[in-house]
Amino acid sequence: MDSTLPIDGSKPYPVRRPSSVAEVGELVRAAVAAGEGVYPVGGRTALDVGLPPTKPGVALDTTALDGVIDYPARDMTITVQAGVTVGKLRAALAAEGQWLPVDIPRADAATIGGAVALNLSGPHRLGYGTLRDYVIGVQFIADDGSVVNAGGRVVKNVAGYDLMKLQIGALGTLGVVTQLTLKVRPKPEAAAAVRFGCEGHRLAVVLDALHASKARPVVAHVSRAGTDIGRAPWWVTVVFEEKAATVPWQVETLRAELASAPVIAVETLPDDPAPLVRDMTDAAAGWSPDGSAARFVWKASVRPSRTAEFLTTATGLSAALSLRAEALNGIVHGVVSAEIGEHAAADMLTKLTALAGDGSVVVRSCPPAWKGVLPVWGRPTGDTTLMRHVKRTLDPTDVFNPGRLFAPN
């Protein structure tokens, strides 16, 4: 285990690995007293997300907090400590025929606490939503070292100021999350995938047809063709997960509808699509199969009706740009695999932001030195003032992940 850890290009921080919630509280109190920061880390799969740290302090490793606290499977809820890896969580749920249908990059290393801090999602977002839809209880350590519990074990549990929802996607800036209660779902009985290609000028028509389909996919993934496929510039992969009796109907319904659509090479994939979806998830975050990370990765959120236009226009920005999209959600992922300079990256973001219209483009990963220039979180939005107010209210001494979400004023 590392004794020090650099975070997003910073000087190495001393690593503290508490084995209990009480120890986390002690570390937070000590940091506040010293005027330092606490930087929660888990599987170290997203240390480059956000802005660089701005204060000295400690990296608080949550991976020793990896227990399953309670799992009443019949209630379809589970309570775990935040340092549990997503892979371990999946294994526990699978033993009961259940799952958490949210895609997390590098799931065997990523912790559920880190995934919640980023509100991660992937191709299954179309059918099942994001982590915000599954977190029903949270425990975290506040800036005075006290334990705060919000939500609970009941699926419908909302009262007062929603501290639970505030923690989801807060990048660890509002407290150290130590425990989570999640609602889960029964594992689908069957799954199947259909893949087909289309020319770029036909992509909008094809996606409109998919949107209007009588079939109900849980994944609709679009990618620019690789050289190993090579018969069309765009490929669409559609995944169905349902009861064993209904998946064949879904597949045949879609295939019948595609018979009159401008597509080519329609095929039903012979294998379980789960590994394919995992590969999609990792690739969208810039991870190669060998575990190496791309230099420059961005994510755009656009109107679903404009996804095809965004993709076909963005593809002309760089020959090294790989594009993937959760097409019916309007989520587009861009990965630049080759070397690219800071100014070229900034120019690409400017063009992408204009292309996104009223959507947004954020940087998932880039060299730390670029973050003083690139709009990492996209263009300013009207809710920034409110988010800063919440941060000041819940963390007035700026002890939790200082600088990582907001640049200094």
Asked if residue 201 has pLDDT above 70, the reply is: yes
Residue 11 domain-assigned (yes or no): yes
Scan for tokens 């991870």, then name that residue.
287
Residue 379 domain-assigned (yes or no): no
Scan for tokens 């000087």, then name that residue.
11
Residue 141 φ then ψ, to 5°: -95, 125
Examine the domain organization and report whether 164 and 19 are in the same domain: yes
- DSSP sequence for 293-325: B-SEEEEEE--GGGHHHHHHHHTTS-TTEEEEE
Residue 16 domain-assigned (yes or no): yes
Residue 19 domain-assigned (yes or no): yes
Give the CATH number of the domain where residue 158 resides: 3.30.465.10
Region 93-102: mean pLDDT is: 98
Cβ neighbours, 10 Å, residue 176? 30
Model pTM? 0.93
Residue 383 confidence (pLDDT): 85
Examine the domain organization and report whether 97 and 214 are in the same domain: no
Q: Which residues contact 352 (CB under 8 A, 6 or more apart)?
A: 298, 300, 314, 317, 334, 361
Examine the domain organization and report whether 161 and 98 are in the same domain: yes
Residue 396 confidence (pLDDT): 95
**Pair of tokens at residue 297:** 């990765």
Give the CATH number of the domain where residue 204 resides: 3.30.70.2190
Beta strands in 189-244 (DSSP E): 190-198, 219-224, 234-242
Residue 363 domain-assigned (yes or no): yes
Residue 159 confidence (pLDDT): 47
Examine the domain organization and report whether 236 and 87 are in the same domain: no
Residue 157 confidence (pLDDT): 46
Summarised one tens digit per residue, pLDDT across range 4-42 is: 999 999 999 999 999 999 999 999 999 999 999 999 999
Residue 1 confidence (pLDDT): 60
Among 157, 172, 187, the domain boundary falls at 187
Examine the domain organization and report whether 16 and 149 are in the same domain: yes
| Angle between the N-to-C axes of helices 307-314 and 203-211, in degrees from 0 to 180, rounded to the nearest 10 | 150
Among 277, 310, 342, the domain boundary falls at 277
Rounded (5°) CA angle 1-403-283: 60
Residue 368 belongs to what domain range?
Answer: 285-372
Residue 216 domain-assigned (yes or no): yes
Rounded (5°) CA angle 392-115-210: 115
| Alpha-carbon torsion angle 36, 142, 106, 234, nearest 10 | -100
C-beta pairs of 150-153 under 8 Å, 24+ apart in sequence: 151/181, 152/181, 153/70, 153/72, 153/75, 153/77, 153/79, 153/181
Report residue 153's pLDDT band, with 50, 70 and 90 as the boundaries: low
Examine the domain organization and report whether 302 and 314 are in the same domain: yes
- Cα gap 327→154, rounded to integer Å: 33
Residue 398 domain-assigned (yes or no): no
Examine the domain organization and report whether 107 and 211 are in the same domain: no
The length of the chain, given as a count of residues: 409
Residue 227 confidence (pLDDT): 41
Residue 236 φ then ψ, to 5°: -115, 130
Examine the domain organization and report whether 246 and 124 are in the same domain: no
Examine the domain organization and report whether 175 and 106 are in the same domain: yes
**Pair of tokens at residue 151:** 């939500």
Summarised one tens digit per residue, pLDDT across range 250-299 is: 999 999 999 999 999 999 999 999 999 999 999 999 998 888 888 899 99
Residue 400 φ then ψ, to 5°: -95, 115
Cβ neighbours, 10 Å, residue 68? 14
Instruction: Classify residue 138 as exposed, middle or buried by CB count within 10 Å of its CB (0-12, 13-18, 19+).
Output: buried
- Cα gap 276→145, rounded to integer Å: 43
Q: Which of 149, 148, 117 is nearest to 130 (CA)?
A: 117
Region 234-246: mean pLDDT is: 96
Beta strands in 126-229 (DSSP E): 135-141, 147-151, 176-183, 185-186, 190-198, 219-224
Asked if residue 160 has pLDDT above 50, the reply is: no
Examine the domain organization and report whether 254 and 159 are in the same domain: no
Residue 404 domain-assigned (yes or no): no
* Residues above pLDDT 90, as percent of the chain: 86
Report residue 228's pLDDT band, with 50, 70 and 90 as the boundaries: very low
Q: Which residues contact 257 (CB under 8 A, 6 or more apart)?
A: 209, 213, 214, 215
Give the CATH number of the domain where residue 349 resides: 3.30.70
Summarised one tens digit per residue, pLDDT across range 363-393 is: 999 999 999 899 999 988 888 888 999 999 9
Examine the domain organization and report whether 247 and 162 are in the same domain: no
Q: How many domains does the chain have?
A: 3
Examine the domain organization and report whether 57 and 168 are in the same domain: yes
- Cα gap 298→318, rounded to integer Å: 14
Among 187, 212, 234, the domain boundary falls at 187
Task: Evaluate whether 282 touches 290 at the Cβ level (below 8 Å).
Answer: no
Residue 301 φ then ψ, to 5°: -120, 115
Region 238-246: mean pLDDT is: 96
